[in-house]
Structure 1
Amino acid sequence: MRRAVAAGLAVACLSTPALAAPTPYDPETADQWVNPMARGDEAGDITVDITQAPDSVSEGDSLRLQLTVANSSEEAASLTLSTRRGDPTWDVAGARRALALDASAYPWFGPTVDVEVGPGERREVPLELPAEFLPVGTWPLMVTAGENTERMLVTVTADAEEEQQTPGLTVLLPLTSRLDIVPGETGEAPEEAPLILGSEHLAGQIAPGGRLSELLDIYAAEERGTCLAVDPALVDTVSRMSRGYTVAQSRPSLITTKQRLRDSWFTDDDPEPGAPGRGAADAAAWLERLQGAGCVVALPWADADIDAVARTEDEWLFREATQRGTEVLREELGVEPVPNVVIPSSGYITEQAAPSLGWADQSVPVDQAWEASVATREPQITDNALESPVIPDHAGAPTPAQPVRAIVADNSVWGVPQSGAHAHLAPGVTATTFPAALGSLLAATGPAPQTTGYSNPDWRFDYRLDSVTARAITAGSALRLAVAEETLPAEWAQSPEPVLAVPAPRLDAATARTLVSTVTELYDARAARPVPLAEAVTAPLLDPVGPPAVGVTRFGSPWSDPSAVSDTEVLRAAQQTRYTDDLTRMMVNDPVINLTRYDFTLPLRRDVLMALSGTSRSSLATNRDAVEATNGRLDANRRTLQELRGSVALFPPGNVYTRASESSPLLIVAGNGLPLPVDAELAYTGPEGTVLTAHGPVHIPAYGSITVQLTADLPEDEDQSQLSLWLATRDGSPISTPVEITVQTRAGIVGTYGIALLVVVGLSLALLFRVGRHRRRRQRP
């Protein structure tokens, strides 16, 4: 059976856990994307693509293909298109392997056709394969044009001759898209913050004929056993688009600085206002269509990489990634999503990330959990999070009140208790598995095919060598093959294992149409029975799994993942989320202001989640752009946080502060440019023996300032004291930039001036004495 084979392979790979790429663009990870020994195709001037083919053919029917031959050279070419097939494949893993082998794995020759192609010409060529060339089964098929090949899996079906036990089938159809919200947004009141997008990319996706619009049409054609895996960030953005938005490259500054009129005469620092967005009506229509979906489950926010989010060790970032989505979908769509389900974009959960899944439990809303945690938080002195080079290690999440289910590849859970398609990862956390080979073939579809981190690197190649149509047909055949693997004879006592199909997050319409058509045929032929997602992820009681032995990994990807978020990027994300937490705790909710402190900083956390999105990273075609987008968003988010940090500041009365006496207080102004009041402690450093006392916490009104009076006990043997002061949260986390002041008493000034005066008087007397003596000498006879 498939699962026994997968388990055996996983055990053999225990010594190679998933590794994060050390830095973006590391050339050492190149062979993790493409095995140089796989496929063996050579790029040339002549290419051939399959542009049209049926999803499958019945026994006895011929297979008709439509090919496109292109000549990019400057000379005409005469060539022969030939067809070849390999041996039949009986499992999905074998099919994936066959697609990566060289041409010698396709020893059976089929029809050929001669073609003349002029320089720069593209020609459509029909080709028919007779029924005797493709008997019943699943066949690797290859079309060759010189050194270029086009490959796909072809399924030839036959009517079932005997009663069989058919497996259950559940198919996820993901709805995600690139969200280019201009970074730097914060919450506002009384109205919501205006939506500013960097382009009209999303408007094109949801317009009639766009990818996201077509996916809703395809889902409506077959709702049996299918479920929409929806990115809540997408729904939230489209909802905001429906109320109007702006397209611009930047957003206005969060902090308004005072400027003299004459300084603004010849300057124009205001950003471009942008243009009104054109997709509001389409957004409203698309959202209305989505509201009728029968089954919905939330993806992580912005399809963020769950492992990377867990590595930041920030509870609130993880809660926003995994918990907020169900609430948003419920409010925006009026449906009840399948709760407590986590679908990692990587297809696996690392052992380090599993304990954090307790925070995915949706029993308590995020905002309420935040306020409760602040009320019970213990004081702790830390360095400034934005500059800290380390990530504090936290104990992890508590056991969830309701079970949390993760959907992962079946080869990523090898050393934990399992029962069928379910595995126990942590207390209250289970995994529901899907076939790893099927997941890899479904991911390798569309214009930007993905390389799954859990796939065997030996069979990785640049999937763009085959056309989008060929890879879509391969996906349909792979799904049929996965169902056939689990089909059992009627007389067997055991029940077949269910099949869970998880396509690529950026599923394209052509592949979705092929998959849904395949699903419909399987159901209608009673080759599979539809299973709702809620039933598919319901796990039986499993034995608990304790902590692993030191140095032992029991689950996670068995192979290296070239698309994993780097440690450098995780550190930057952790710095920004920790500082966002500190900034939020320093503010105070005001019942008069229709904005909570958590809602004010929530968009900043979402910026970090968008930066950690794993979708485009896992494609060789878009990885570099995705990494650059991550760095750009993190840079912009840091600038916003620095701007917010500068808005809460201390303003000393000059660099040197003179006290009339040792009992005189120090006066310093604290300003707040935030829309909520701030409660802060005054923190300082100074010479040994320095004690500064503020009478209670510093409460700074929203968009206001206050003069703080400090009682200062300074070293008696020092006439001047160098002090560094800053504002911190009530539990000790630094917030504002430190200011340096020198404190000097009048007694010190008098003492200094007195000594100088005595020196001057002494020198004057000495000079007078010398002059008088010189005169007396001259007056002697």
Structure 2
Amino acid sequence: MLTMLSAAPAAVLSAAPAAAAPGADATSQPDRFAQIVIDSMTPSMVTSSSGSTVAISGHVVNTSSRTLRDLGIRLERGDALTNATQLRSALAGEHPPIAAATDFTDLSSDTLGPGAQASFSITVPLSGTGGLQISQRGVYPLQLNVNGLPDYGGVAQVAGSRTLLPVLSLPPDRSRAASYTDPGSGDASSVTPGLGADGSVSADTSSPSRFTLLWPIAAPPQLAPGALGGNTEPVRLISEDMARSLSPGGRLDSVLAPLRAIADAAPPSAPDPNAPSSVAPAPGAQSGQTSDLARSMCLAVDPNLLVTVRAMSLGYVVSSDPSDPTSPTVPGTGQDAATTWLNELHDVASRLCVVALPFAGADLSALAEIDNSGLTAAALDSPADVVDSILGVKSVRGLTIPALGAINQAGATLLEDTKHTTVLTSAGNLSTTQPQSTGAYRVGPLAAQSYDEPVTAALAALGTDPSTPAITPADQTVDLAAESPLSRRQAGIGALAFAAVDTPDDERGDSEQGSVAPTAEQPTTGRSQVVLPSLYWSPTTDDANALISTAEVLLGSRVATPTPLTSVVDSADAARADARLAPLPGVGPVASVSVPLPEQTATAMREQADLSYQLQGSLVSSADVETTPERYLAPLREDMLRSLTVPARAGAATRTRLADTRAQTIRAVTSTLDRMRAAVTILDPGGRYTLASERSPLLLVVRNDLALPIRVDIRTSAPHDLDIGDVGTIEIPARGTRQLQLPTRAETSEAITVTISIATVTGLPMGSDIRLSVHSNAYGKALFIITIIAGAALVLLTARRLWHRFRGEPDPADADRPEPDEQERLLAAATYQQRRRTLHIEEVHSGAWSDDAGYSWPPDPERADDAGSVRTSPGGDGSEDPGYRHTDPGSTDGPTRGPEPDEPEPAENPTTPAEHSSTPPR
């Protein structure tokens, strides 16, 4: 990029720049000693109303450790660019060709020590000797070249800065006026197209470009993975980067700010092309031109950004460890900024075209590798609905804008299978032998609209965080660190104007020789000019305003015509010229710039998506919970899509970082899914479980710690001796329990091991299985058979006795029964207490015995009535006389009375009843 120039050749270039430049004495100088910072450049685009000079001011900073002496600076110009790839390659080459150059002029200081700086100011004429010698329309590369003498070295180019100067038209010039030929003179061969009598050159409006400006509003994913949705858990962000971006002066605020004036359609002032580029023109143009810009502009919105900002507006926290969904958090600070920004975007979107980007910039080839219809639908089908819902608009449908800017065959097949048949892709991604003015082609079943990726690269270089898109070839990669912000802005203006200024069959002549050369063949994009900045571009407000002002000048000059995005889609759908997908020039296959997706990772993500849908299918809505099953689990699938984000910039380091983020996301989502499955379980009663009977139910309690009710089935596994019935599908309330009774039938009293598990109605196992040792009091079939036989025998015997009774015949079963004797008849008529005492006395066989109540046996006949009852007390109240005691018949003692009340109670007889019976009383 840097060139050594001696002072002598510089003088030659000054005298005859066109001829001397190719043979200039220049040697390579790999080291950069200083940096040029451009502070202002006037005009930013040359028009017939601008001045006849170009003025550039800035300063040079010594960035080396050496002292620089004999410093001089000059402005150099290259030939007008002929194709879009030169928009970047002309700024990236080691030795740019020089078509014209000014004399060297001194800096404000001839000597610069390390870290010191010196200012400069250059004003050169556009045309004529000693100036840039520009006489035709076009976009020209410029280079500021500083030569000097560093310590311990020779004269060298110590600093350089390159940018672009678009020339839409040229102001009056005497030398050109001298060559003017009136078109009505009849000599058409001597007529210079666009040349006026005063030497001015008008803009070429014969073939205006069809101008469509997409305005990306997107951001890298910021939501921490693993959180559930529906306001059931706090919204977790990985950092406060989004809050800073949404705040005044932040990246997203700067992207949105210039659109407010366009949407409001405020009466604008005409842009001043002569205004210094350091002061961004206010957006707006003459009456009617703002309408043209609004018609040609369309907001390309990432639904992931909207989801994130809306969640922030409801309150959020910042996670200390994004890979752990349960890590500590701190309160977020960007709630107010998120609310304000989202409201402003809502207002702007309501007045402009809006199109949805794939969710979180998901990689199409990665989605094809995972091959999950749910994830694919969430990435390609749902975004439009999400954008419409949050912004309250009706977005443009039918166009897929790949985040990478290009697709491969896997991505094309995915789009075909999902009925997304129109795609916007880089012109370098298409190969055709039939270039079309519309830039639209038929790639198999797909309709492909092309765009110029170098323009995207130029706009990605704007702002405070410049980047190089991942699909940029190496020969178009500009050292952005070496360029100042205004230099990069000016290059973006030139790139934006190129398609409108570079008209077909435009003839450009060498300023010195006057030779004429035709332009290159029609590019793939034709006269279509679909401008697609990088998704995560970072223009400052001044950068964005400068681009809008340039677009308004192009539309107002009629070198570009406003083309709504809907017209672009219709034109692409009507395309008939064939093209095929091709590797990116200088890059290779599209997959080579994406983050690799190993088969193991793809399988894991496919399984995670399936699990989430199985859980969602088993959850049910509840009046007590505001969320729905879809909203509850959608964040987990969105996390997976966020992990498929394509690289926003070129470089292996970016791909490595995204691969690490993807691994963290998979772990976090897996952790949450495992936690959800463990939240629905059977409470283990533990120990031994005993059934009261063979048909006693098995009692269980199931628990659900999820935020929504869930429908589950109970699965059991037991030996054939224990039959457990099916209770069907049950619903467990959210964050609650439910008691179940499983019907059982036991056929054995032995211990039986039963395994019980729980699964969703979609077949997903939940919780942990429990094992119970079940015991039953059942005796099985033997007891059943015995019971039946005994019952039958009882029935038969009863029937037999009744049969004999009905016939008046004695029952043969009573034939051998003896007649009762006197004692048996007495016992039959005695009371229960008497019979009990009699039986007891019979057991002791002999002797007299009395109980504690004073009774003796046998009873005195005089005290028994005819019915055999015991004699009553003399009191005549019908009760036994407690004063009487029965004695043994062999005793000489008669009935005696107990002790009188005044007599002392005799001592208790310590002898046993047997001893009492064997020894008669004396």
TM-score, normalised to structure 2, is 0.60
Q: Distance in 2 between matches of 1:272 and 1:104?
A: 53
Pick closer, same or farther for the CA change 1:117–1:481 going to 2, 3 Å: same
Q: Aligned partner of 1:140: which letter? A: P
Q: Distance in 1 between matches of 2:465 and 2:722?
A: 62
Q: Please report how far the alpha carbon of residue 433 of structure 1 lies from its aligned counterpart in structure 2 after TM superposition.
A: 1.8
Determine the structure 1 residue equivalent to 2:247.
207
Q: Distance in 2 between matches of 1:661 and 1:702?
A: 34
Determine the structure 1 residue equivalent to 2:302.
231
Q: Distance in 2 between matches of 1:536 and 1:504?
A: 19
Pick closer, same or farther for the CA change 1:291–1:537 going to 2, 3 Å: closer
Q: Distance in 2 between matches of 1:148 and 1:432?
A: 40
Determine the structure 2 residue equivalent to 1:169.
211
User: Which residue, out of 570, 586, 589, partners 1:560?
Assistant: 589
Determine the structure 2 residue equivalent to 1:376.
none
| Deviations 1:251-304, CA, capped at 9 Å, x for gaps | 99999xxxxxxxxxxxxx975556674525633653454244322212223333
Q: Please report how far the alpha carbon of residue 630 of structure 1 lies from its aligned counterpart in structure 2 after TM superposition.
A: 4.0
Pick closer, same or farther for the CA change 1:251–1:707 going to 2, 3 Å: farther
Determine the structure 1 residue equivalent to 2:40.
52
Pick closer, same or farther for the CA change 1:431–1:663 going to 2, 3 Å: farther
> Can you give the 5+ residue segments of structure 1 that lack an aligned partner in the other structure?
1-38, 256-268, 359-395, 748-781
- Asked if the contact 1:506–1:615 (Cα under 8 Å) also holds between the matched residues in 2, the reply is no
Correspondence 1:357 to 2:375? no
Q: Distance in 2 between matches of 1:288 and 1:421?
A: 32
Q: Distance in 2 between matches of 1:445 and 1:246?
A: 31
User: Which residue, out of 638, 641, 644, partners 1:606?
Assistant: 638
Pick closer, same or farther for the CA change 1:98–1:276 going to 2, 3 Å: closer
Q: Distance in 2 between matches of 1:109 and 1:535?
A: 44
Determine the structure 1 residue equivalent to 2:54.
63
Determine the structure 2 residue equivalent to 1:139.
140
User: Which residue, out of 97, 114, 121, partners 1:126?
Assistant: 121
Q: Please report how far the alpha carbon of residue 249 of structure 1 lies from its aligned counterpart in structure 2 after TM superposition.
A: 4.0
Q: Please report how far the alpha carbon of residue 522 of structure 1 lies from its aligned counterpart in structure 2 after TM superposition.
A: 1.1
Give the SS at the match of 1:117.
coil
Q: Distance in 2 between matches of 1:638 and 1:40?
A: 55
User: Which residue, out of 357, 367, 391, partners 1:309?
Assistant: 367
**Worse-superposed segment, 71-80 or 464-473:** 71-80
1:10-89 matches, within 5 Å, as 42=30, 44-53=32-41, 54-58=43-47, 61-73=52-64, 76-78=67-69, 79-89=71-81
Determine the structure 2 residue equivalent to 1:324.
382
User: Which residue, out of 497, 509, 531, partners 2:527?
Assistant: 497
Give the SS at the match of 1:188.
coil
- Asked if the contact 1:229–1:298 (Cα under 8 Å) also holds between the matched residues in 2, the reply is yes
Correspondence 1:94 to 2:86? yes
| Deviations 1:574-627, CA, capped at 9 Å, x for gaps | 343232222212222345643221111122222223333336355678555555
Determine the structure 2 residue equivalent to 1:187.
229
Pick closer, same or farther for the CA change 1:594–1:138 going to 2, 3 Å: closer
Pick closer, same or farther for the CA change 1:163–1:556 going to 2, 3 Å: closer
Determine the structure 2 residue equivalent to 1:589.
621
Q: Please report how far the alpha carbon of residue 165 of structure 1 lies from its aligned counterpart in structure 2 after TM superposition.
A: 2.3
- Asked if the contact 2:468–2:649 (Cα under 8 Å) also holds between the matched residues in 1, the reply is no
> Can you give the 5+ residue segments of structure 2 that lack an aligned partner in the other structure?
1-26, 147-156, 171-193, 196-203, 263-282, 284-292, 508-521, 778-922
Determine the structure 2 residue equivalent to 1:753.
none
Pick closer, same or farther for the CA change 1:656–1:439 going to 2, 3 Å: farther
| Deviations 1:123-160, CA, capped at 9 Å, x for gaps | 44333344232513322223345455322222233254
**Worse-superposed segment, 123-132 or 531-540:** 123-132
Determine the structure 2 residue equivalent to 1:473.
490
1:258-337 matches, within 5 Å, as 272=330, 277-279=335-337, 282-283=340-341, 286-287=344-345, 289-337=347-395
Determine the structure 2 residue equivalent to 1:422.
440
Q: Distance in 2 between matches of 1:92 and 1:457?
A: 15
**Worse-superposed segment, 72-81 or 686-695:** 686-695
Q: Please report how far the alpha carbon of residue 226 of structure 1 lies from its aligned counterpart in structure 2 after TM superposition.
A: 1.6
Percentage of pairs with the same residue: 25
TM-score, normalised to structure 1, is 0.70
Give the SS at the match of 1:67.
strand
- Asked if the contact 1:251–1:271 (Cα under 8 Å) also holds between the matched residues in 2, the reply is no
Q: Aligned partner of 2:217: which letter? A: L
- Asked if the contact 2:317–2:330 (Cα under 8 Å) also holds between the matched residues in 1, the reply is no
Q: Please report how far the alpha carbon of residue 174 of structure 1 lies from its aligned counterpart in structure 2 after TM superposition.
A: 1.0
* Greater relative CO (CA pairs within 8 A, separation 6+): 1
Q: Please report how far the alpha carbon of residue 502 of structure 1 lies from its aligned counterpart in structure 2 after TM superposition.
A: 0.6
| Deviations 1:623-657, CA, capped at 9 Å, x for gaps | 55555444444433333223222212344444998
Give the SS at the match of 2:111.
strand
- Asked if the contact 1:416–1:424 (Cα under 8 Å) also holds between the matched residues in 2, the reply is no
Q: Distance in 1 between matches of 2:324 and 2:740?
A: 28
1:588-667 matches, within 5 Å, as 588-590=620-622, 593-614=625-646, 616=648, 618=650, 625-654=657-686
Give the SS at the match of 1:63.
strand
Q: Aligned partner of 2:167: which letter? A: V
Correspondence 1:154 to 2:165? yes
Q: Please report how far the alpha carbon of residue 686 of structure 1 lies from its aligned counterpart in structure 2 after TM superposition.
A: 10
| Deviations 1:392-411, CA, capped at 9 Å, x for gaps | xxxx53x4xxx753221123
1:538-577 matches, within 5 Å, as 538-539=570-571, 554=581, 559-561=588-590, 562-568=592-598, 570-577=602-609
Q: Distance in 1 between matches of 2:653 and 2:116?
A: 26
Q: Distance in 2 between matches of 1:652 and 1:214?
A: 59
Q: Distance in 2 between matches of 1:73 and 1:138?
A: 33
Q: Distance in 1 between matches of 2:40 and 2:317?
A: 40
Determine the structure 2 residue equivalent to 1:218.
258
The Cα RMSD (Å) is 4.6
Larger radius of gyration: 2
Q: Aligned partner of 2:736: which letter? A: G
| Deviations 1:293-316, CA, capped at 9 Å, x for gaps | 322212223333333334332223
Q: Please report how far the alpha carbon of residue 534 of structure 1 lies from its aligned counterpart in structure 2 after TM superposition.
A: 1.0
Q: Distance in 2 between matches of 1:270 and 1:412?
A: 46
Q: Distance in 1 between matches of 2:476 and 2:47?
A: 30
- Asked if the contact 1:645–1:737 (Cα under 8 Å) also holds between the matched residues in 2, the reply is yes
Determine the structure 2 residue equivalent to 1:703.
735
Q: Distance in 2 between matches of 1:567 and 1:116?
A: 55
Aligned residues between the structures: 641
Q: Distance in 2 between matches of 1:674 and 1:339?
A: 37
Q: Aligned partner of 2:79: which letter? A: D
Q: Aligned partner of 1:237: which letter? A: T
User: Which residue, out of 424, 433, 445, partners 2:450?
Assistant: 433
Q: Distance in 2 between matches of 1:685 and 1:417?
A: 69
1:438-457 matches, within 5 Å, as 438-457=455-474
Q: Distance in 2 between matches of 1:340 and 1:282?
A: 31
Q: Distance in 2 between matches of 1:710 and 1:738?
A: 18
Give the SS at the match of 2:355.
strand
- Asked if the contact 1:645–1:735 (Cα under 8 Å) also holds between the matched residues in 2, the reply is yes
Q: Please report how far the alpha carbon of residue 177 of structure 1 lies from its aligned counterpart in structure 2 after TM superposition.
A: 2.5
Determine the structure 1 residue equivalent to 2:761.
730
